[in-house]
Amino acid sequence: MVSTRPKGKHTYADYFATPEGERWELIDGVLYHMAAAPSVKHQTSSGNLFFLFSSHIRPRRLGAVYAAPFAVMLPDESTVEPDLLFVSAARRHIVSDRACEGPPDLVVEILSPSNTRHDLETKRELYARHGIPMYLIVDAEEESVRALTKPIIDGNGGVYAEEAVYHIGDIVDIDVIPGLHIAVSDVFESPL
Tens of pLDDT, residues 34-86:
766 678 898 999 999 999 999 999 999 999 999 998 999 998 788 999 999 99
Residue 3, pLDDT above cutoff 80: no
Strand partners, 177: none
Alpha carbon distance 173, 153 (integer Å) = 23
The reply to whether 70 falls in a domain is: yes
Nearest Cα to Cα of residue 82 among 127, 142, 37 = 127
Alpha carbon distance 31, 23 (integer Å) = 10
> Which residues touch 75 (CB under 8 Å, ≥6 apart)?
102, 130
CATH of the domain at 179: 3.90.1570.10
| Domain count of the fold of the chain | 1
Q: Are 22 and 33 in contact (CB under 8 A)?
A: yes
The reply to whether 147 falls in a domain is: yes
The reply to whether 1 falls in a domain is: no
The reply to whether 155 falls in a domain is: yes
Tell me, what's the pLDDT at 1?
Answer: 40
pLDDT tier, 176 (very low <50, low <70, confident <90, very high otherwise)? very high
The reply to whether 102 falls in a domain is: yes
Q: Are 181 and 173 in contact (CB under 8 A)?
A: yes
Tell me, what's the pLDDT at 4?
Answer: 44
For the stretch 115-164, pLDDT in tens is: 777 778 888 999 999 999 999 999 999 999 999 999 999 887 899 999 99
The reply to whether 118 falls in a domain is: yes
pLDDT tier, 2 (very low <50, low <70, confident <90, very high otherwise)? very low
What residues make up the domain containing 120? 36-188
Alpha carbon distance 101, 186 (integer Å) = 31
Tell me, what's the pLDDT at 6?
Answer: 42
> Which residues touch 181 (CB under 8 Å, ≥6 apart)?
171, 172, 173, 174
